[in-house]
Chains A and B, each alone.
Chain A
Amino acid sequence: MNNKKKLLICSNITLNPIDSIINEKNKFIKVQIANFDNIWIEAISSDIENIFIHCDILNISPKIRFEFNNLNYCDKIDKFLEKQLLSLKKKNLKTKKRIFFSTMTDVIFAQGVFYKNINKIVNNFNQIVTENFETINLNYIIAEIGLENSFKASNLYRFSTPYTIKFLNRLSENIIDLLLEDELVKQKVLILDCDNTIWKGVLGEDGERNIQFNNTPIGNCFFEVQKNAINLTKNGVILCLCTKNNSEDIKKLLGKNLMPINLKNTSIIKANWDDKSENIKSISKELNLGLDSFVFIDDSEFELSEVKNKLPMVKTYSVPKDIYNYPNFFRKNITKLFNNKNFTLEDKKRVNYYRYEINRKKHLEKFENKEKFIDSLKLRLKVSTDKQNKNYISRISQMTQKTNQFNLTTKRYAEDDIKNFINIKDVKVFTGDVSDKFGDHGKTILAIIKKEKKSFIIDTFLMSCRVIGRELEKSFFDAILNKIKKYKLPIYGTYLKTDKNEQVKDFYQKLGFNLLMKNKNSTYYILDTKKFNYKFSSRKIKIIYGK
């Protein structure tokens, strides 16, 4: 996080203390408080990216606190709010700010005579905001710290805020969490132990018939956890199992499809008696994914601390002692680690990719050398240029944001940058879609090449880790060269070193580029026009050009 995140707070009550509270808790957020009581206009006219809106029922209009008995008046308020919310949503389709709301709360009126009228306004408001925006649930905060600790009547009449500092503290924490959740590394792999983690009991001792995963109070808890884990896989999370059990026992049980978790929706199952840290390391190798995107849940403190000690980058969680709290714990603490708002279609396909990957690895074992193996895959590379990529802007931006290993320059680009590149004549955006006899990998290779007066400069060259090791990069470069060699200009390539891209440090050299200059963290290469008739790839990879 280099730059401070700016946040505009729009509210119809006084929320100003939040400024100093957030400032103390997190130095990366800069708060600005919008003009009091003008939320709908302020929210849309400001140029600040992140906007938090708090619309309090107590101050929607000056009259509201003594007009709750007036049904007509309440209806008017209800319609007014609905109109404002929907128009804000519509306007934001263009401005694309991140707008989030606190839900409206009516708990302090919960016992009044006119509760019904108020409740209707509040329910309708909450329904619209939760459907259309991100929200912070105020009732949850109030339930956590208690009604008495949340409201203070004297604050309402003196300062126009019904809340306590304690409440505003909790609200601030919620705002910070929501605002910074994008900055966290998104987890990709969920590894679960089996005994007493996805069912009650020990399979090897109690036997298949005596473990519980449904139809008993405790069993239902495990069932719910399993269901939620499976829901994650539908959003691209990779589910693996790691258990000290006999492999045949586990496979036999899962093969019966009695539980939500089965052989089909788990990517890798490690059922053996080795250290769990070793198994997790091997899962990371098989999937070609970094351990910092792994989450591991186990009921045994021993296993957890073994993994924690040897693989500190893996996030470890213990099954709650009271199993009745387990489903809620999972929903609240585990799901959010994987929560990914900017989900692309590619993410959804990812689970399948890794399954293909595992089949491919098995296939590889049959071949004496890698070259023969690659040729046997019947690889196809579809190369698209510039305008042909215009429907994939989000995916292309995501590739620049997420690819760390096979990435020569690690330049991160927003969607708007990519849109620009595609539209500018002197910048060429090449993408490659890869498929083979096991399945489709989607868009996994990208090059952004800038044309200068007397040369081409490779600004970005990257490849998703799931297609590494098939020499696709060479075929891709062949295809690019094919498109640009008519200009007869030399091509410059740069390698910018990061903590993660060691594996491509000799990439340009291997392609036949000549070394120009080497600094501590950057190396510059040139490919002169004499080499333009080279074919870099000697593998059987079919290149198709997009139309």
Chain B
Amino acid sequence: MENEIEKILKKILKVKSLKNVTSKNCKSWDSIAQMTIVMEIEENFKIQLTEKDFSSLNTVDKIKKFLKKKIKN
């Protein structure tokens, strides 16, 4: 699953490495990218995110943690 998340994020953010990437330190991570991330994640993992999830998922680590937890449940 982690591989899949990374593949999606690399594609959307157009970066080679995701190490310590956050919406603050990554230029390409704007509101459009955030929207695309949500659309891709929802469809790939067949989940629906709330508005709250949407705005809190602003670093690569947070996205990974969130999805691990969400999919376990």
Contacts and interface: CB of A to CB of B under 8 A. Distances in A.
B26 interface: no
A20 interface: yes
A17 B14 contact: no
Contacts of B35: 14, 16-17, 158-159
Q: Contact size class for B? A: 10 to 19
Main secondary structure on chain A at its contact with chain B? helix
Given A16-B32, A159-B35, A165 B11 contact: no
Main secondary structure on chain B at its contact with chain A? helix
A166 interface: yes
B39 A17 contact: yes
A23 interface: yes
A137 B21 CA distance: 39
A218 B33 CA distance: 52
A154 B48 contact: yes
Interface in A1-45: 14, 16-17, 20-21, 23-24
A20 B43 contact: no
A164 interface: yes
B43 A16 contact: no
Given A20-B11, A20-B12, A24-B11, A165 B40 contact: yes
Nearest to B43: A165
A469 B71 CA distance: 72
Interface string A158-176: 1100001110000000000
Given A23-B11, A24-B11, A158-B38, 15 more contacts: A16-B32, A17-B12, A17-B35, A17-B39, A17-B40, A20-B11, A23-B14, A154-B48, A159-B35, A159-B39, A164-B43, A165-B39, A165-B43, A165-B44, A166-B43
Nearest to A36: B32
Nearest to B48: A154
Interface string B27-53: 000001101101110011000100000
A169 to B, nearest CB: 10
